Chains A and B, each alone.
Chain A
């Protein structure tokens, strides 16, 4: 074992998108969530990580690649559509370089987009043969990246707990899928929305999961005083480790007021040529209906607080990168000071756990991947106090930890379940619970299904899982794209209800099942028996 550092930094990126795939439409707005995240987040992060490996920088990062995201990344239709999308972006970037020829204040930015899109194509098409998951898997094999899983469809488990079988299935199906995809069991899990309830750890333990993450108050309000606060994991009585989120470092990235992403030099998110440019020119790059949407090409910087979008100033990439480097330095310095201070009170080096939505980096905070790049390089080259670590490595080094049961919590607004259980979305639970009840009933009744019955049961499980995505309740609450979220919840539950009736009546229509298999094709090898009573 290497000499103990002052402290450990455990950076966790939670990469997730709800399963959005619509073979029935040519141009689906919601599929663009995936395309945008690929171009702005997943491929740039991959580029950063591969660059670090190439340059011999020793770094550690933990990523949860959720089953729906992995499914989309490996889906032939979506991969095909994304490739086309990328081509169209490159075409647009070329046009933009021409368009801005006499506008030096925008011209460099237009060139930057072309460079970035071409990087994506090089990485995605040429280098990894359109297999991003394979690329992440290769990184994981270097030991620099630890990939963990997440509930099969990012269900918010505290609100599903009334049926332990439903929670178990979320975990078991995810674990199985992870094993299929990455060739090994996941050691850790990101519980959707950081949602934990006492008892969940028993289900995790049963599925071979060794650790998960919690918001700070989940640890602090545990049933015993956590002697190291959030700076060491707790062992649940079942032996599963619970790592708590560090609030200080979270704030510096998340906070709208104090967070780095609000720096005036960074790129403005809202001002996009999809809204600004002449209609006929931009038409091929917006929605086929002519609805103006964001293209991803944005030429302005945040500029200042409370400015109208029309008052923004042109973006300067060099300045923005300088800001990212400066913020990376600041982040590292603060963690050094923080761990140094904590070390005085602790008999082991503190671990500072910093979980973020991966999509924050790149999509929302355009310069986020560059920030990570600078951060890992600075940590590697500029100092020795702080060492990056994965949860698995930490548990290997510190196998003895305090035992306590954390408290019910999430990382959502107000810290508990309110985001997913309030006026706009509470109606779904009656149906979700009933759906789970029916799924459990079917799994118990048909323990050894074959043929069409097997197909119907597998599809029923898919529909239930898709309906359980916490994303839908979240979107209903945030009041954007609400209709889509309601429709997804309703559609999957109605599909399940019809499958249930067919299965229980013994009259399964092959055409009906086949149509759903075509539409909602997640988890081809799903084991519906995950729902059976144990």
Chain B
């Protein structure tokens, strides 16, 4: 079952076609240990020589692509069956017995006898440990599935309910105990991914029960146009060692308008990749105007004009447009629009996206004094004048002829910004029956000496 000439024949073993056959193979405790998820074995168990493995540790893009292209693509196992198989698990009824094979291989790996090393599934691409959430199946928790295996007291297909905490939480957890890898598109050239490795899988692999995992690796596969990605048939793949206790990662991808899928796993002592799980699939957008297609030729008559319309759409002034051909012009438009987007320039970037950020409650700082220039000490002085008094609560009061509100206790006050010069401020009170009038005329003068 071990193929020494990996380059020519990436896999030697045909996948089993039936579940029962798999179960039969499961009789060997070795095998069971090696691949707790039968489906993963089915799809991806391809033992390789030590040589191939070594090569694989740091693949150049070229060889990776070459190898992958050569890989057969017909052996994908649907993700659903994988998860289910894990849930069904080994056919032993007790928790202890079922859990045992899960933990063993890693322990043995560490001991590392030759025989055992062979038994552990090793493949240039990946070895699946644990469940494999797939594209849309992120919500199907692989941990729950594994747990079901461990507590197998019910029929294999039934998932046992997890326990939910009774106590209220008041903080967000760092992780949720899932095993998953989630891929997101930031822009045509950057992807973002985050992951979690659940306790069960960590235990299975002999890793720390939580926190940083050493030799954690993400493999990013270009699966553009691949009908059903099975871990082997990508066009190219890139290996990203996860360092520094990161919990998420940005990765710059070399091509736009591509479909991507990633796998997360650890490198074992031999530098072999042990796959933990696979991500969802994403597609990066194109960042240029599409090539002209057959359909476009139907309105070829306007193709010369198209570049004008597109240039205006992109708010680009073509340079030498009268001389260059349509295709060159359209390439120029793509390039210029791309550049503008990258620089976050002009119209494409509103000053903000929402009122909240329209600098509400925020004031610009004072202008920083240029280096070497003595800082200025700001001083601004305003003067205000308060005119206040009291009268009968029913009286009507005017100040400079303007009515003023009299409070129920008969007091009134007004506040003025006091400019330079003299202010004559007649304050007049008239009784409610208009029989009595009183007037006081304060005169105030402000002068400022520089």
Contact = CB atoms under 8 A, between A and B. Distances in A.
Nearest to B316: A247
A18 B353 CA distance: 11
Contact of B347 (A98, A247, A309): A247
A153 to B, nearest CB: 12
B352 A478 contact: yes
A517 interface: no
Contacts of B171: 490, 494
Interface in B185-200: 185-188, 190, 192, 194, 196
Interface string A260-280: 000000000110000100100
B136 interface: yes
A367 interface: no
Nearest to A498: B168
A95 interface: yes
Given A247-B348, A308-B366, A224 B295 contact: yes
A370 B107 CA distance: 75
Contact of A98 (B280, B292, B416): B416
B289 interface: yes
A4 B337 CA distance: 31
B342 A414 contact: yes
A429 B400 contact: no
A417 B313 contact: no
How big is chain A's contact interface, by range? 35 or more
Contacts of A463: none
Contacts of B366: 308
Most A CB contacts (10 A, CB to CB) among B176, B187, B350, B362 go to B350
B364 A474 contact: no
B310 A229 contact: yes
Interface string A329-370: 000000000100110111100000000110110011000000
Nearest to A414: B344
A164 B342 CA distance: 29
A78 to B, nearest CB: 15
Interface residues of B, number: 94
A223 B290 contact: yes
Interface string B160-187: 0100111011111001101000101111
B310 A421 contact: no
A273 B310 CA distance: 48
A310 B161 CA distance: 66
A505 B354 CA distance: 39
Most buried by A among B139, B344, B352, B415: B139
The 7 closest A-B pairs by CB, nearest first: A229-B313, A416-B187, A247-B315, A251-B347, A408-B285, A345-B305, A359-B355
Given A221-B334, A230-B313, 19 more contacts: A18-B356, A32-B361, A159-B184, A163-B138, A220-B310, A220-B313, A223-B290, A255-B346, A344-B305, A414-B187, A414-B342, A415-B187, A416-B187, A416-B188, A429-B194, A430-B175, A430-B176, A437-B138, A480-B361
Interface of A: 16-18, 29-30, 32-33, 36-37, 41, 95, 98-103, 106, 154, 158-159, 162-164, 193, 197-198, 215-217, 219-231, 244, 246-248, 250-251, 254-256, 269-270, 275, 278, 281, 293-294, 308-310, 338, 341-342, 344-347, 356-357, 359-360, 363-364, 404, 407-409, 411-419, 421-422, 426-427, 429-431, 433-434, 437, 440-441, 470-471, 474-475, 478, 480-481, 490, 493-494, 497-498, 500-501, 504-505, 507, 512
21 contacts: A17-B355, A102-B416, A103-B419, A162-B182, A162-B184, A217-B287, A221-B290, A225-B293, A225-B296, A248-B315, A293-B361, A308-B366, A338-B312, A359-B358, A412-B349, A414-B342, A415-B187, A421-B186, A426-B194, A471-B354, A501-B168
